[in-house]
Amino acid sequence: MEIDLIFKIAAIGIIVAVLYQLLKRSDREEQAMMVSIAGLVVVLMMVIQEIAKLFDLIKSVFGL
């Protein structure tokens, strides 16, 4: 796992937190919730790709 992935996830978290607070304070709670869900989906997709790479590596190591 690269350190870049951790920085990308942290950056997405910071951006989502700022956007959430801005939208919530301007009484747009529905859009704020959608921003947080979208951020979560983006991070989950990044993590799923890394898990897929891990499984491919395990299969190649054990010759499965």
Residue 57: φ, ψ to 5°: -65, -40
47: number of Cβ within 10 Å: 12
Asked if pLDDT for residue 26 goes beyond 90, the answer is: yes
Q: 36 is written with which tokens?
A: 């947080």
Q: Considering the domain boundaries, does residue 16 fall inside one?
A: yes
Q: Considering the domain boundaries, does residue 19 fall inside one?
A: yes
pLDDT band at 63 (very low <50, low <70, confident <90, very high): confident
What pLDDT shows up at residue 2? 80
52 and 15 Cβ atoms separated by less than 8 Å: no
Q: Considering the domain boundaries, does residue 64 fall inside one?
A: no
Number of domains in the chain: 1
14 and 52 Cβ atoms separated by less than 8 Å: no
Asked if pLDDT for residue 41 goes beyond 70, the answer is: yes
**Which residues form the domain of 43?**
3-58
Q: Considering the domain boundaries, does residue 63 fall inside one?
A: no
